[in-house]
Structure 1
Amino acid sequence: MPETRLDTARIRAARRMIDPIFLDTPLFRCEPLEPGLGCAVSIKLETANPVRSFKARGTEIVTSLLADHGPRAVVCASAGNLGQALAWSGRGRGLDVTVVASRFATAAKLDRIRALDATLELVDGDHEMARDRAAAIARRDGTRLLEDSLDIETCEGAATIGLELVDSAPVPSFDTVLIALGGGALAGGVGHVMKALAPGVEVICVQPLGAPAMTRSWRERRVVTTDSTDTIADGVAGRRPIPAVLDDLLLVADDAILVQEASIIAGMRMLLDHAGLVVEPSAALGIAAILEDRARFAGRHIAIIVCGSNVDVDAYRRWVGAAPDHHGR
């Protein structure tokens, strides 16, 4: 395959740095979803862990390396999930963690970052402003700056999901994998493994129509930025794609598609009604893609990575119309 920044042998070795609590997540065929979608669906559930998203696969690698021979402090910008993951991984290794986020980020995510003993700094802008502030803090303090998707550890951590998908059977039963696309670590990581080890599997990235920068960049084969975003899928709402990440994505993605907000909400509702899963909007992008083009996926076997479940309960109720209470009932 063409060379990405990722290395398959390094990805296999990375599993040894990741707390097993984040590895070997459930993968199951979800038949109740299938009549409404017109295709076979397998779910890779990345939410059954202490930070309820896949992001800790990458932060475990970063903090392991820092604990061994790096600065004892690390800073990142986050819409919420990366910050929780870095706080969890850093706390376990005695690192000082600072997370910069928008004050408009999901409150539940911000509360959880604080609860994990990280220093939280809020900016009066969006995620791109948080990225700029995190970089400024790193320069000022000599702190390690963790840049999601640019730092190879975040991509190779996410890529371990791809190893588990491929290793689940002698030959993967699915022919397509639908991957939420934001900064690109998940799509680039899993896509790399698919092209290296299961090249017959189609890799399709899915992004909200209201946050289309990386998809437009993929289509035009050059970085395209946007002035703003407008989507409930805060976890993938970036405006400034990273050139090196786009280069990887161009080598491993077979398609990149945009979906509407109504389809994302419908996907969240389907995952609640038919899979018993409360997910954040980014995790429903794969279902949304099928809902918008049933004919394309008819009769196929689709693997969907359910990537996060850190959702504000009140917002979820507004979108979906029902949700468990804080005790999970």
Structure 2
Amino acid sequence: MLATRLDLDRIRAARRVIDPLFLDTPLYQCDPLGHHLGCTVSIKLETANPVRSFKARGTELVASLLTGQGRTAAVCASAGNLGQALGWSGRRRGLDVTVVASRRAPAAKLDRIRALGAELELVDGDFEQARERAATLARQRDIRLVEDSLDIETCEGAATIGLELADSARSVRPSRFGAGSAFDAVLVALGGGAMASGVGYALKTLAPAVEVICVQPSGAPAMTRSWHQRRVVSTDSTDTIADGVAGRYPIPAVLDDLLAVADDAVLVREESIVEGMRLLLEHAGLVVEPSAALGVAAVLENPDRFADRHVVTVVCGSNVDLPAYHHWIRR
């Protein structure tokens, strides 16, 4: 048994709570992208849903729990995607949702949070300042503070992605990529760690031969540094276009989970992230936000590691400001 906060029975039960709109997302082999990268590439697409990211898998659990407890309100800090997801799940269940975000967050994400009916408060500074303000509001209003990655529901919601991947891995004939496995590595964006620890836990429990590789921008390396040093390592600042994974203070409990389930954690350069976005558009027809291109960036930076292998990259979000997107991919 893996020594983590996660539980396989709870993750399986989560599928009965999460709206089916967010479950059983497409997983398909993308040959044009694979030919360009020199390996077999499959895409796990988490953007074809009402909030355009995987985050609602977790907020569906949180919102269901809160309404079951008779709660009527919640607050969270968000780089954009969590706020949208909590707004969607909260509206569906009659919760009043407040989202605290940085003024520097992509305008498209902020506009969508407002459109979903959530109260939006903006702060100067980065996500960490938003997190501090959200905690203050929770105390002042005596409402639930939803903390991505720390709240186990956000991790176990994301872990349902891993269940779907594990089911796919076990449903095919044995191949040279590993006994009974359709692929031998999964590339997961790493920020606070909810998706990486959740997907990693499900795979290591149900398909342990599959390598779990976490990918983070070099401009926001706190969790990757922490994973390699096996202790919390914070940073003074971040400098990356991948706003969705730009945290500075890893959560100790989440790091412990990640240490138990991840095989590796790597950093990638900004130019590789941009190239990954461009390749996903050109070869897969997908407009994605920078965090969703981290897996492709990892293959670009280390092609020998992945040559002739079959990898899955989790495309985790597509909430992006189009002017910024066009600027990046034309650069």
Shared fold per TM-score greater than 0.5: yes
Q: Which runs of 4+ in 1 moved over 4 A?
A: none
Measure the CA separation in 2 of the matches of 1:245 and 1:172. 28
Question: 1:212 aligned to 199, 221, 229, which one?
Answer: 221
Instruction: Please say if 1:198 is aligned against 2:210.
Output: no
In the TM superposition, what is the alpha-carbon distance from 1:2 to its structure 2 partner?
2.5
Count the aligned residue pairs.
322
The match for 1:24 is 24
Instruction: Please say if 1:248 is aligned against 2:257.
Output: yes
Measure the CA separation in 2 of the matches of 1:212 and 1:259. 9
Measure the CA separation in 1 of the matches of 2:99 and 2:155. 19
Measure the CA separation in 1 of the matches of 2:330 and 2:81. 24
Contact 1:210-1:231 within 8 A present in 2 as well? yes
Q: Larger deviation: 167-176 or 107-116?
A: 167-176
Measure the CA separation in 2 of the matches of 1:161 and 1:13. 13
In the TM superposition, what is the alpha-carbon distance from 1:36 to its structure 2 partner?
1.3
Give runs of aligned pairs for residues 3-22 of structure 1, distance below 5 A.
3-22=3-22
Indicate the RMSD between aligned Cα atoms, in angstroms.
Answer: 0.8
Measure the CA separation in 1 of the matches of 2:200 and 2:303. 23
Residue aligned with 1:13, SS: helix
Residues 27-57 of structure 1: CA distance to partner in whole angstroms, max 9, x if unpaired?
0000010121111011000000000000000
Instruction: Please say if 1:276 is aligned against 2:285.
Output: yes
* TM-score using structure 2 length: 0.96
The match for 1:106 is 106
Measure the CA separation in 2 of the matches of 1:14 and 1:109. 26
Paired letter, 1:224: V
Residues 192-219 of structure 1: CA distance to partner in whole angstroms, max 9, x if unpaired?
0011000000000000000000000000
The match for 1:74 is 74
The match for 1:258 is 267
Residues 123-169 of structure 1: CA distance to partner in whole angstroms, max 9, x if unpaired?
01100000000001001111000000000000000000000111124
The match for 2:243 is 234
The match for 2:175 is none
Contact 2:197-2:257 within 8 A present in 1 as well? yes
Measure the CA separation in 1 of the matches of 2:151 and 2:166. 24
In the TM superposition, what is the alpha-carbon distance from 1:321 to its structure 2 partner?
2.2
Measure the CA separation in 1 of the matches of 2:229 and 2:33. 34
* TM-score using structure 1 length: 0.97
Measure the CA separation in 1 of the matches of 2:4 and 2:183. 24
Measure the CA separation in 2 of the matches of 1:69 and 1:196. 31
The match for 1:172 is 181
Contact 2:232-2:250 within 8 A present in 1 as well? yes
Residue aligned with 1:17, SS: coil
Measure the CA separation in 2 of the matches of 1:188 and 1:85. 19
The match for 2:96 is 96
The match for 2:152 is 152
The match for 1:143 is 143
The match for 2:328 is 319
Residues 215-252 of structure 1: CA distance to partner in whole angstroms, max 9, x if unpaired?
00000000000000000000000000000000000000
Contact 2:2-2:205 within 8 A present in 1 as well? no
In the TM superposition, what is the alpha-carbon distance from 1:172 to its structure 2 partner?
3.1
Residue aligned with 1:206, SS: strand
Residue aligned with 1:303, SS: strand
Measure the CA separation in 1 of the matches of 2:257 and 2:3. 8
In the TM superposition, what is the alpha-carbon distance from 1:69 to its structure 2 partner?
1.4
Contact 1:180-1:186 within 8 A present in 2 as well? yes
Measure the CA separation in 1 of the matches of 2:78 and 2:215. 20
Paired letter, 1:312: D
Residues 105-133 of structure 1: CA distance to partner in whole angstroms, max 9, x if unpaired?
00000000000000000001100000000
Contact 1:165-1:172 within 8 A present in 2 as well? no
In the TM superposition, what is the alpha-carbon distance from 1:312 to its structure 2 partner?
0.3
Paired letter, 2:239: D
The match for 2:198 is 189
Measure the CA separation in 2 of the matches of 1:250 and 1:223. 11
Paired letter, 1:234: D
Measure the CA separation in 2 of the matches of 1:129 and 1:94. 28
In the TM superposition, what is the alpha-carbon distance from 1:71 to its structure 2 partner?
1.7
Paired letter, 1:222: R
Contact 1:86-1:97 within 8 A present in 2 as well? yes
In the TM superposition, what is the alpha-carbon distance from 1:70 to its structure 2 partner?
3.7
Unaligned runs of 5+ in 2: 172-179
Give runs of aligned pairs for residues 54-65 of structure 1, distance below 5 A.
54-65=54-65
In the TM superposition, what is the alpha-carbon distance from 1:181 to its structure 2 partner?
0.1
